[in-house]
Amino acid sequence: MAEGQAARKVNGGRRQSKELRRQELIEATIDAIAKRGYEETTMAVVADGAGLSRGIVNFHFESKEKLLVETLRYMSDEYRAHWRRALHEAGPAAAEKLWALVLADFDRRICNPRKIAAWCAFWGEAKTRPHYRALCSANDQDYHLTLLNLCRELAAPGQSPDLLARSLNGLLEGLWLHVMMGPKEFGREDARACAVEMLVSVFPTHFTRDGPA
């Protein structure tokens, strides 16, 4: 029994070490894309950034394309888990959930120049790489449906929930781009303030600038 427990401990340690190495390489890939761009992100660059040998990169991912796909998958999963957690932790009212959903986009763990630059690089490649587009669109559809259902609950007579949801989604994506490419003085908090202003303007009976009414 003791031998079995020792073997399980060793195997568990190996799995943990393998997952840690993969995570280090994915983080180094995000750094490389943000600093160098998509084309100049190579296996050698990622290995150097992670402080590991190129052989280790090849062992875990086999090719640059597999490394990039897994990096995009990680970012997509991270983003989905982030906004779903914000939604789950929000109050029961639709206004509370929409507030949490929108403001989750400006959490510093998600909204920072490094992550946004990597997202932009992948979006730029998605037109010609169907597997990139599939990874992005799966999250986009889920997010849009959630946004749409909340807008249906909050829309006033005469307002189109679909147009409201698409407008909010477009605004959030545009604000991310503005954080990365706009004036230096425009930062994450400014983008958040813009999103709040939009909510107050579109749903004046449901929101104030301090939160759900």
How many Å apart are CA 78 and CA 59, to the nearest integer? 24
Q: Are 126 and 211 in contact (CB under 8 A)?
A: no
Domain segments of the chain as ranges? 1-62, 68-212
212: β partners: 207
Query: Does position 175 have pLDDT exceeding 80, yes or no?
Result: yes
State both tokens at 203: 């749903």
**CATH superfamily name and code, 68-212:** Tetracycline Repressor, domain 2 (1.10.357.10)
More confidently predicted of 136 and 107: 107
Residue 9 confidence (pLDDT): 44
DSSP state of 90: S
Question: pLDDT tens, 5-26?
Answer: 444 444 445 566 778 888 999 9
Residue 166 confidence (pLDDT): 95
| Average of per-residue pLDDT values in the chain | 89
Average pLDDT, stretch 186-194? 95
CATH architecture of 1-62: Orthogonal Bundle (1.10)
Question: pLDDT tens, 140-169?
Answer: 888 999 999 999 999 999 999 999 999 999
How many Å apart are CA 143 and CA 177, to the nearest integer? 18
